[in-house]
Amino acid sequence: MRSVRGRSVVGTPEQVRERLSVLAAEYAADELVVVGITHDPKARLRSYELLAGAFELERREEAPS
């Protein structure tokens, strides 16, 4: 658990946005890839929605397959 905690960013959407922004700046990254690990797909989607809201991203329509 300790190794997972060291690589995890957890908190309110604002706290997570701040921590991810700091990490991106420290590594001079111009994009981030976020992987939410949860057994419940609805919870994972909600987590992504909260994060998108914190970064003020808008939902795009899915491209037709």
The answer to the question of residue 60 being in a domain is no
Residue 26, in any domain of the structure: yes
| Beta strand residue intervals within the chain, DSSP E | none
In a domain, 65, yes or no: no
**Does residue 8 sit within a domain?**
yes
pTM for the whole structure: 0.77
Please, are residues 11 and 19 in contact by the beta-carbon 8 Å criterion? yes
Say how far apart CA 50 and CA 42 lie, in whole Å.
12
* 35 within domain boundaries: yes
Is 18 a domain residue? yes
Domain that holds residue 32: 2-54
In the chain, the number of structural domains is 1
The Cα–Cα gap between 53 and 49 comes to: 6
- How far apart (Å, rounded) are the C-alpha atoms in residues 49 and 58? 10
Q: What is the pLDDT of residues 2-32, one digit of tens each?
A: 766 677 899 999 999 999 999 999 999 999 9
Question: Is 19 inside any structural domain?
Answer: yes
Instruction: Encode pLDDT of 43-55 as tens digits.
Output: 999 999 999 999 9
